[in-house]
Amino acid sequence: MNQYQLRVYYEDTDAQGVVYYANYLKFFERARTEFLRHAGYQQMQLMKEGIIFVVRGLELTLHKPARLDDQLLINTELDKLGKVSFNFIQKAYLEDELISEAHVRCGSLDPVTFKPASLPEYLHTGMKKLL
């Protein structure tokens, strides 16, 4: 599991000072990127190798709102790892309280054909260690 901390800024909120729901997707994206970086993922390197990652689907549940200036902790856990696809469970906490969670299904594609492409072996091995 990987943890990512962030503070809620004015730009993340709506007129009531509450995090706009779509911004949780941005928070979770940042946390997944840091998780993958920890596993050896370097986006520019993968692009040179002809691999891109995409989100194939997700389920987002909001339990309680976060507000302006809140400090959030995002936990990211690799839930499933295949040769082409990988899934995450992500949870956002305010202090010790779960406020949002997402189940995210990702895949790797060839950037020209947009057809499934296998993860490079070094990255698959790095991710497998984080299961």
One-letter amino acid for residue 121 of the chain? E
Q: What does the block give as tokens for 82? A: 């295949």
Eight-class DSSP state of 2? E
- Catalytic hit among 14, 70, 96, 110: 14
Q: What does the block give as tokens for 37? A: 């970086």
- φ, ψ (nearest 5 deg) of residue 3: -115, 140
- Strands (E) located in the chain: 2-7, 52-62, 71-81, 85-94, 97-109
Active-site residue, 14 included: yes
Write out the catalytic residue numbers: 14
